């Protein structure tokens, strides 16, 4: 077990991210970028708080074409924001339903509107508008000349490529996740309600060093589970069950996201076969995840192995995705995604299939793509379905 990475990032990292964004803004004729989601505000400022779990207050970060980002935030966040590399922090007493930051945004954006200079807002795939839609519409009505361009592609292009410090954090939480999964044979046993196993898994993840284990889903059922997003039932684990746990644990704001399958007491042939196919599909994915490959090719490579058992395409919609500050990030390993894989992308490989009468199996690993190919960040799952 190696030492801990450092928390946070040096100022130079935020400056480099900002400069890269500004170069792309200049190239696409954008005079600014208005960001309001947790990951983007944190990516450019370093502002890190769980307070985003409260939906009450909006938070804004504006990237001008040059210079540091400008924060437009509720007063409750001022002290924490002053600890970041930002200089220009504008606050209001929030919540204030009549004017939750709108006047401050109007002051900031009016000169751009008057000068006919467009700004970017993230409006695309895998984004949300993290402010009231009514307030957004009011802001647009107050700045009728402000041109808004979708900046999802710009931010996506930056965030998909991880820095070494980001990779170090993700590797750290993946190692914690691996050690936690390694304890499952001690934690799980016949007769234990699934709900209690979830609780024990979370406690173990914290003991292994996770800051939190916010995402934990899974299932267990005789001969295979049928659903991969449920909360746990009180049903006790029984001999012949296939158990799956899928976790997103967090360290310093970065996620792991992988799962493991186990058979309780004994494994049926169909589940062992499904496991074997998925293990080999993952292996093919690890081999194929190279610089210059597209996500579509990676998808097809894994799908070709899965088709030995299931050629229906499944219900999950893709066979893996990006990973970092969010549990799931761009890109998607899917037929629609032509993203070219680049060095230092962190990805999940997540093949899945249906078998038997509506049973489902998923398998997942986390990798970082290096110059010479993929490196595993999660400890590779056992070659055959492990029996507890």
Q: Note whether 253 and 47 are within 8 A (CB).
A: no
Location of structure tokens 């398998």 = 363
Interaction of residue 126 with a second copy, rule CB under 8 A: yes
Write down the least CB distance from residue 120 to a second copy, Å: 12
Instruction: For the CB of residue 97, give the shortest distance to a second copy in the complex, in Å.
Output: 4
Kindly tell me which of 354 and 373 has the beta carbon lying closer to a second copy.
354
Q: How would you classify the pairing of strands 241-251 and 254-255?
A: antiparallel
Q: Decide: is 133 part of the binding site for a second copy (CB under 8 A).
A: yes
In the bound state with a second copy, the residue whose beta carbon lies nearer, of 52 and 272, is 52
Q: In the structure encoding, which two tokens stand for residue 236, read together?
A: 């006790």
Binding mask 320-339 for a second copy (x = CB under 8 A): -x----xxx---x-x-x---
Please report, for residues 26, 307, 346, 352, 365, the alpha-carbon distance to residue 289 in angstroms, rounded to integers and kept in the order given. 32, 19, 10, 17, 12
Render the burial of 58-87: b for 16+ CB within 10 Å, e for the rest: bbbbbbbbeebbbbbbbebbeeebeebbbe
Select 313 or 386, whichever has its Cβ closest to a second copy.
Answer: 313
Give dist(CA 190, CA 264) in Å, integer. 7
Return the range that interacts with a second copy (CB under 8 A); candidates 22-30, 158-166, 192-200, 274-282. 192-200
Choose, by CB under 8 A, the member of 5, 46, 120, 248 that binds a second copy: 248
- At its nearest, how many Å lie between a second copy and the CB of residue 90? 14
How many angstroms separate the CA atoms of 155 and 160, rounded? 8
| Inter-residue contact 264 to 220 (CB < 8 Å) | yes
- When the beta carbons of 137 and 382 are compared against a second copy, the nearer one is 137
How many Cβ atoms are within 10 Å of 225's Cβ, its own excluded? 21
Could you please report the per-residue DSSP string of 348-367?
A: EE--EEEETTTEEEE-BEEE
Within 8 A by CB and 6+ apart from 344, the residues are 161, 162, 163, 164, 167, 368, 369, 370
Residue 258: which H helix or E strand, with range? strand 258-263
In the set 17, 162, 318, 363, which binds a second copy (CB under 8 A)? Answer: 318
Query: For a second copy, which is the closer residue by CB, 114 or 137?
Result: 137
Judged by CB under 8 A, which of 2, 3, 12, 55 binds a second copy?
55
User: In the complex with a second copy, which residue's Cβ is closer, 252 or 268?
Assistant: 252
State which of residues 10, 87, 191, 203 lies at the interface with a second copy (CB under 8 A). Answer: 203
Mask: binding to a second copy, 29-48, rule CB under 8 A, as x and -? -------------------x
Residue 128 binds a second copy (CB under 8 A): yes
CB of 302 to a second copy, least distance (A): 16
3-state SS string for 314-346? CCCCCCCEECCCCCCEEEECCCCCCCECCCCEE
Which residues 6+ apart lie within 8 Å of 19 measured at CB?
none
Q: Which residue has tokens 């600890």?
A: 83
Q: How far is the CB of 382 from a second copy (least distance, A)?
A: 26
Stretch that binds a second copy, among 25-33, 60-68, 130-138, 372-380 (CB under 8 A): 130-138
When binding is defined by CB under 8 A, the residue of 65, 206, 291, 376 that contacts a second copy is: 206
Binders of a second copy in range 105-124 (CB under 8 A)? 121-124
Answer for which of 137, 164, 287, 308 binds a second copy (CB under 8 A) is: 137
135 or 375, CB closer to a second copy? 135
Residue 255, classed as helix, strand or coil, is strand
Nearer to a second copy, 136 or 165 (CB): 136
313 binds a second copy (CB under 8 A): yes
CA gyration radius for the chain? 23
Binding residue for a second copy (CB under 8 A) from 90, 117, 125, 165? 125
- Is 73 in a helix, a strand, or coil? strand
Enumerate residues 66-95 that contact a second copy by CB under 8 A.
74-80, 93-95
Residue 230 near a second copy by CB under 8 A: yes
Q: Which of 212, 308, 342, 382 binds a second copy (CB under 8 A)?
A: 212
């Amino acid at each position: 077990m190696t030492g801990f990475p450092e928390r946070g990032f040096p100022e130079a990292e935020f400056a480099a991210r900002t400069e890269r964004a500004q170069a792309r803004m200049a190239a696409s004729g954008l005079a600014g970028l208005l960001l309001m989601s947790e990951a983007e505000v944190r990516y450019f400022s370093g502002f890190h708080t769980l307070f985003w779990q409260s939906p009450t207050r909006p938070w804004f970060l504006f990237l001008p074409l040059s210079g540091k980002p400008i924060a437009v935030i509720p007063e409750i966040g001022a002290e924490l924001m002053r600890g970041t590399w930002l200089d220009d922090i504008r606050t209001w007493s929030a919540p204030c339903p009549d004017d939750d930051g709108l006047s401050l945004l109007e002051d900031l954006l009016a000169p751009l509107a008057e000068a006919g200079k467009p700004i970017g807002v993230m409006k695309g795939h895998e984004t949300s508008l993290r402010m009231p839609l009514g307030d957004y519409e009011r802001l647009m009505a107050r700045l009728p000349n402000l041109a808004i361009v979708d900046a999802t592609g710009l931010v996506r292009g930056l965030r998909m490529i991880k820095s070494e410090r980001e990779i170090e954090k993700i590797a750290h939480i993946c190692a914690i996740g691996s050690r936690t999964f390694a304890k499952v044979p001690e934690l799980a046993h016949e007769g234990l309600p699934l709900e209690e196993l979830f609780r024990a898994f979370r406690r173990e993840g914290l003991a292994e060093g996770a800051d939190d284990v916010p995402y934990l889903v899974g299932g267990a059922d005789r001969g295979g589970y049928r659903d991969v997003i449920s909360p746990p039932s009180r049903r006790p684990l029984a001999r012949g069950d296939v158990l799956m746990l899928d976790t997103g644990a967090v360290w310093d704001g970065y996620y792991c996201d992988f799962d493991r399958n186990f058979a309780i007491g004994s494994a049926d042939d169909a589940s062992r076969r499904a496991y074997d196919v998925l293990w080999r599909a993952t292996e093919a994915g690890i081999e194929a995840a190279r610089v210059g490959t597209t996500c579509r090719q990676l998808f097809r490579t894994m799908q070709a192995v899965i088709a030995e058992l299931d050629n229906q395409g499944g219900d999950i919609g893709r066979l893996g995705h990006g990973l970092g500050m969010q549990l799931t990030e761009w890109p998607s390993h899917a037929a629609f995604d032509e993203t070219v894989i680049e060095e230092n992308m962190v990805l999940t490989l997540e093949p899945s299939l249906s078998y038997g009468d509506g049973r489902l199996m998923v398998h997942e690993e986390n990798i970082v793509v290096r110059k010479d190919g993929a490196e595993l960040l999660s400890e590779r799952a056992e070659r055959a379905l492990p029996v507890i």
